[in-house]
Structure 1
Amino acid sequence: MKKLSFNFISLVLLGSMLAITACQKQDDTQAAIEVESAEDNALAENELTSVDSFVEDASAAEPLLAGSMATAESLPTCATTSYNKDTRTLTIDFGDKNCVCRDGLMRRGKIVAVFSGAFGAVGSSVTITPHNYFVSDNKIQGTKVKTNLGNRKVSVVVTGASITTPQGVTATWQANRVVEKIAGHDTPRISDDVWLITGESSGVNRRGIAYTAKIEQPLKKALSFGCARNFISGILTITNERGGTLSVNYDPVGGEPCDKVAEVTLNGRKRIIQLR
């Protein structure tokens, strides 16, 4: 099976949720605001990235779409997929009850992807939208449009994204990025894929504070065993509307190791942390 030239994998910005909640124990309210912005940004990135991964996997396994008989390995047995060739719509249905997925998170609801243009061609695109979709009881909304730019690059635009907690607290998010695959394009497996991500995002955190997140140095994601959970290099800076700044360096020691070590600079103070 030939791997899709228009991959939908991307964007685990901040990898997993940052394990920097110790900062929130400080009396510094400004620091707590920065941490919440980083966590909300990470949560939005993670969940919308999971949506991408499911769509890519299901697309590669859909004979009418990709001409393949592959298995969608990332999807749990409780999820079903269907494809309408007339409307070029792929639907992934997790059901109306929580379904435990391979990453240990519970999901329910649907992911709908509508394709446009010749599959895999430059200029082709896919619009991905969650429908009544929940992850661990957090409601995920928004629209992600991905367009094939050629040369293994994909434009990613996210609009209207939000995450609403079971307590009714909402954080909003949007993003505009370019994702480039720099390795693994000649094989059907994803474990040898390596990606570079550039661009920026913005949102409003759970406290109602607006922030922007800018990739200062391209974020590098390797999907090999032991590497996929976090970035192996790159720098991301988050600034809120009150002027506070938090920067995350994913390779503070150099060499791009597959580890959980990152360096956080919070309002000028540096700290080595362990990513979750």
Structure 2
Amino acid sequence: MKKIIAPILALLLLGCQEDEVKNNVDSASAIEALTEYATVNKVFQDVGNNSADAVLSGENATSASKFSNIKTDGPIITVLPLDFTTFPKTITIDYQSGVLCKDGITRKGKAIIVSTNWYGVVGSEHTTTFINYYHNDFKVEGTHFVKNSGTDQDDNLKYSVTIENGKITTSSGKTINYTENSTRTWVAGFDTPLNIWDDEYLLDGTQTGVSSKGVKYSLTVEEPLHFVLLPRSIKSGILNVDVANIKDIKLNYTTSTIAILGQSFPFRI
């Protein structure tokens, strides 16, 4: 899974923050909430992929030799305890004051992962939290939990993913809240653990959140979202979306369209 993230929409986050959750919105407010959803989803998918990278890097390093710091062209990755068999392990991804990564994202701060076993071991659990962690200008908070659920009929690894108390704070102080309960199926790149750019996975499940304007939304995957890294995108898939009082919105990544209130519009991704 690694550093695969959802697409960035070209729209900007607008408006002033409100404390209450709105139950009635117009189509413009609904689209704005979905724009914010795409941003927060992108960030948290990225968190999951980077956490997986760190665990895999720790496994590769400790199986070959003893390194306290894993040297990469990006962050410093520290594994404690520093051996192959002792668990739980604490794996720290330290971007320090900022690292411009190959995918064009500047990250800074720390992501802390506690793992009960290595990433490919069935039943292993990986919990990520954050210390002053930023994805570009977005501050990231919350708890990201992943569990290895075994393989499907095609021998692809499956992982259950839960995000609790997810929150993104923008540079202007707006906050977007996010939760997720999903299943990710790793469909490409597992056999090349040292290459973080060839992974692909399918995402199923549900996601919910509250926009910076207090608009509540929920999303259910109708057709699995197919994430790829290079070029960074969602190749295909359909989301069913409810935004406040507006129901049955369809976000179609296969055709890059959004259907809302009986009309279809291009969805810039």
In structure 2, the residue matched to 1:52 is 48
SS at match of 2:144: strand
Check whether the contact 1:20–1:35 (CA below 8 A) recurs between aligned residues. no
1:154 maps to 2:154: no
- Count of residue pairs the alignment pairs up: 244
Q: Between 80-89 and 170-179, report the one with greater CA deviation.
A: 80-89
> For structure 1, which segment, 86-95 or 56-65, has the greater mean C-alpha deviation from structure 2 after superposition?
56-65
Which one of 243, 247, 252 corresponds to residue 246 of structure 2?
A: 243
Distance apart, 1:120 and its partner CA: 2.5
- Tell me the alpha carbon deviations over residues 227-273 of structure 1, each in whole angstroms, 9 at most, x when there is no partner: xx211111012211222553221223xxxxxxxxx111122111234
SS of aligned partner of 2:165: strand
- TM-score by length of structure 2 reads 0.80
8 Å Cα contact 2:30/2:246 also seen in 1 = no
Distance in 1 (CA, whole Å) between partners of 2:35 and 2:91 is: 31
Displacement of 1:33 in angstroms is 1.6
Higher RCO (CA 8 Å, separation ≥ 6 residues): 2
* Whole-angstrom distance in 1 between the partners of 2:134 and 2:3: 20
Deviation at 1:65, TM superposition (A): 6.7
Q: CA deviation at 1:155?
A: 0.2
- Aligned partners of 1:37 and 1:238 also within 8 Å: no
User: For the residues of structure 2 that align with 1:203 and 1:232, how far apart are their CA atoms?
Assistant: 23
2:19 maps to which residue?
none
Query: Match of 1:45, SS?
Result: helix
For residues 112 and 180 of structure 2, what CA distance do their matches in structure 1 show? 19
Structure 2 gap ranges (5+): 16-24, 152-156
Deviation at 1:139, TM superposition (A): 1.3
Name the stretch that deviates more: 147-156 or 134-143. Answer: 134-143
CA–CA distance in 1 between the matches of 2:266 and 2:119? 44
Alignment check: 8 A CA contact 1:219 1:231 kept: yes
* Match runs of 1:78-93 below 5 Å: 79-85=75-81, 88-93=89-94
Distance 2:201 2:76 in 1: 28
Give TM-score scaled by structure 1 length.
Answer: 0.78
- Note the alpha carbon deviations across 1:141-191, whole angstroms, 9 max, x for none: 011110000001100000000011122211100000001123343344455
Partner of 1:103: 103
Match of 1:258 in 2: none
- By how many angstroms is 1:220 displaced? 1.4
- SS of residue matched to 2:107: strand
Change (3 A) 1:58 1:264: same
Q: CA deviation at 1:98?
A: 3.7
RMSD: 2.7
- Structure 2 residue aligned with 1:208: 214
Q: Deviations over 1:25-69 (max 9, x none)?
A: xxxx61222122212221111112222222222322225776257
The alignment partner of 2:128 has SS state of strand
Aligned to 1:144: 144
Residue 37 (structure 1) aligned with residue 33 (structure 2)? yes
Over the matched positions of the two proteins, sequence identity in percent amounts to 28
| CA apart distance, 1:128 | 0.8
2:228 to 222, 225, 228: 222
Q: Which amino acid aligns with 1:136?
A: N
Q: Which residue of 2 aligns with 1:198?
A: 204
